[in-house]
Structure 1
Amino acid sequence: MGLTSDKVLALVVLSAVLLFAGTVWSWPRLARGGALVVAGRIAVLTTTQVAVLASVGLGANQAFGFYASWADLFGRESGQGVVADHDAGAGSLEVVGTRRVNVPGGARPQIGGRLQEVRVVGRRTHLASPAYVYLPPEYFQPRHRTRAFPAAVVLTGYPGTAAALVKGLHYPQTAHALAASGRMRPMILVMMRPTVAPPRDTECVDVPGGPRTESFFAEDLPEAVARHYRVAGGARGWGVVGDSTGGYCALKLAIHHPRTYAAGAGLSPYYRPPRDATTGDLFHGDGQLRDDADLFRYLERHPAPDTSLLVSTSRHGEDNYRETLRFVDLVAAKRPTRISSIVLDSGGHNFNTWRREIPATLEWLSRRLDGR
């Protein structure tokens, strides 16, 4: 059974409850003296605490989508999904599964839309990554059969899982409700994590001699999706949004590639990539690459891109508050770049905060993208 399986979580929780009850019941016997009895107390307490901590950890992983599998959790996920396809003229997108959207009437695609699990392979980078694609109800309705829809790439934080965008952050359900109420136009959502070379956190950088993550998101992904689905052409057909690491990537992609993404929204973003055990050396001495990855330096040293940006933070609970205000001031002085913000009174770096920001973010994104 997988790490994110409900059965695994239920089994571990049940084990913790039974161990706790057994500890309480057997404690009078374990209260006696003697080395064996003391060893028994240590074993019982240790086992119970491990089970309780495992229950909390699995529950948190289910809620926040940190790790997708046991191999991912223990750092054994090393396959980069590199595909060398010398015959294909373009990248590929393969649908590997389809499921209903958890909305009223979701059994019928014309009412609830559809959620497709896909695998994307990049033509230029040869990187491969899983994703979920949300197709709105209008995509399946006969009167819209020739309509092309705007699309948004939705990115998790690191490590994150694409499933967390569906189960934890409820992007498809939120988009469905907003479109049904007329607050946003129907939109295709391509939901995935920015980690396309697990377990390494590449921060959407084209690593010298390594994974070309930025090129995958800027070129390969939009191309593969557009070849498979009815997506509106041009930059005005595409936006990108993400939280935390995904928020940094979203801003970076919109700033670096305004001809691909007309808008980028960062929820609780940061503005320069870290260097730690998860990233390793991303730049290998390339000072220009390092400076371009710092969004402050990039905007100070390059012409302002023709794109729209949205950033979010909170006055209490987010570490990025002051830096976000500085970023807003910097971008506000740049034309034709446009900047908007969401500032909450309080909210931590977590799913609950982002769920409060996602409806306004999708509405903002919808106003800046065009279909046809």
Structure 2
Amino acid sequence: MGLTSSELLLCAVLCTALAFAATVLLWPRLARGSRTRVLGRVGLILLVQVFLFASVALAANRSLLIYGSWADLAGHARQEAVRGGVAVQVLGRQAPDVPGGGNPLVSGVIEKVTLHGERSRSAAQAYVYLPPEYFQKGNEQRTFPAAVVLTGYPGTAENLLKGLRYPKTAWNLAKEKKAQPMILVMMRPTVSAENTQCVDVRAGGPQSETFFGTDVPRAISSTYRAGTSARSWGIIGDSTGGYCALKMTVQHPETYAAGVGLSADYKPEIDQYSGDLFHGDKDEEKRSDLLWHLANRPQGASSFLVTTSLQGEQNYKPTQQFIKAVKDPARVSSITLDRGGHSFNTWNREIPPALEWIGGRLSAE
């Protein structure tokens, strides 16, 4: 049974109920004061608590989609093997959660794929949303702008479909003529189990910057009718994914014309989940600090959108510093909520205007 499956949650709930019923039935028999009976009562109480905790944890994970699989939970999410000559391997298809789902002409399609990076020699799974206009008559030769969409860490690409509802929001915005139809490439902000934070890890580690900065747009453009120039590509993410989105746009204006950081960090966080990203390379460590990079390196003609909150988030001050650091020819916009948090609730309020903003800065070829 999958970690997020309803069957597993139901099993945990039933085990909780059975453990509670057993406690009620057996308690009178264990009421006498022998050591064995005392241990029996303690064991029953612990059993109920374990099953109850498991049920609550599974329900919370199923709602928030923090871990998508047992491998994610154990920290053993594997890096896909790179296959020469295949940029995108389609693993399956599903209908977006919108009216007309099942009819690509009305709802579009979501394809589950593995992206293989030619330069990085890395690979990762993603979900590719193709809007209904992609399939409609008369658009057979039309190219579309595209946006890479990154979740935070830890997190799964499923977060972006279910918890944050990117395809549904993009579909609604296009239907309301608030944003142009776009291809969305939804994935985690890393190519390994570690939190690589879009850094090319030194000493032969995962090449995340090369993967997202070069390989992903090339792979998608070679398989789907997505534009190939920077003006056709944007990137958006929350938390660590927001840092990656801004990092890619700051450091790769030749690839991305627009980047959105929702509650973003502005430099990598080195901890037990990241490991040693730089292996003593101080120049690369400084380069990965976005405020340092903006102050010390030439800025490209990119557009940035950053979000924060006056209360409830810790990135307000560095966000203001980032805004001040952006200079011509780059441009920066911002969303500042009165109250927010590092949560899906906050990001769901920001995603519609963010997608509208990014769509207004991209153009198909």
Shorter-chain TM-score bucket reads: over 0.9
Which of 318, 322, 326 aligns to 1:323? It is 318
1:88-167 equivalences under 5 Å are 88=85, 92-167=87-162
Q: CA deviation at 1:28?
A: 4.5
Residues 92-113 of structure 1, C-alpha deviations (whole Å, 9 max, x = no match): 1011101111111111100000
Q: CA deviation at 1:50?
A: 1.1
Are the equivalent residues in 1 in contact too, given 2:64–2:163 (CA < 8 A)? yes
Partner residue in 2 for 1:359 = 352
Unaligned runs of 5+ in 2: none
Dislocated runs of 4+, deviation >3 Å:
20-32
Instruction: Return the letter of the residue paired with 2:286.
Output: D
Partner residue in 1 for 2:195 = 201
Partner residue in 2 for 1:341 = 334
Are the equivalent residues in 1 in contact too, given 2:291–2:321 (CA < 8 A)? no
Are the equivalent residues in 2 in contact too, given 1:242–1:266 (CA < 8 A)? yes
Structure-2 change in CA distance of 1:8 and 1:322 (3 Å): same
What CA distance in whole angstroms lies between the structure 2 residues aligned with 1:168 and 1:111? 22
What CA distance in whole angstroms lies between the structure 1 residues aligned with 2:227 and 2:347? 27
User: Normalising to structure 1: TM-score of the pair?
Assistant: 0.94
Residues 78-121 of structure 1, C-alpha deviations (whole Å, 9 max, x = no match): x3224263xx3xx5101110111111111110000001001111
Partner residue in 2 for 1:23 = 23
Partner residue in 2 for 1:9 = 9
Match of 2:147, SS state, is strand
1:175-254 equivalences under 5 Å are 175-198=170-193, 200-208=194-202, 209-254=204-249
Residues 237-256 of structure 1, C-alpha deviations (whole Å, 9 max, x = no match): 00000011100000000000
User: Normalising to structure 2: TM-score of the pair?
Assistant: 0.96
Residues 109-150 of structure 1, C-alpha deviations (whole Å, 9 max, x = no match): 000000100111111111111100000000000122211110
Structure-2 change in CA distance of 1:4 and 1:42 (3 Å): same
Instruction: Return the letter of the residue paired with 1:3.
Output: L
Partner residue in 1 for 2:47 = 47
Q: Alignment length, in residue pairs?
A: 364
Unaligned runs of 5+ in 1: none
Partner residue in 1 for 2:279 = 284
Q: CA deviation at 1:236?
A: 0.7
Residues 41-96 of structure 1, C-alpha deviations (whole Å, 9 max, x = no match): 2111111111121122212222222222212212333x3224263xx3xx510111
Q: Which moved more, 1:203-212 or 1:30-39?
A: 30-39
What CA distance in whole angstroms lies between the structure 2 residues aligned with 1:76 and 1:266? 27
Q: Which moved more, 1:121-130 or 1:3-12?
A: 3-12
Partner residue in 2 for 1:59 = 59
What CA distance in whole angstroms lies between the structure 2 residues aligned with 1:80 and 1:72? 12
Partner residue in 2 for 1:81 = 80
Instruction: Return the letter of the residue paired with 1:51.
Output: F
Match of 1:143, SS state, is coil
What CA distance in whole angstroms lies between the structure 2 residues aligned with 1:337 and 1:23? 66
Are the equivalent residues in 2 in contact too, given 1:159–1:195 (CA < 8 A)? no
Instruction: Return the letter of the residue paired with 2:40.
Output: G
Partner residue in 1 for 2:309 = 314
Q: CA deviation at 1:21?
A: 4.3
Are the equivalent residues in 1 in contact too, given 2:83–2:116 (CA < 8 A)? no
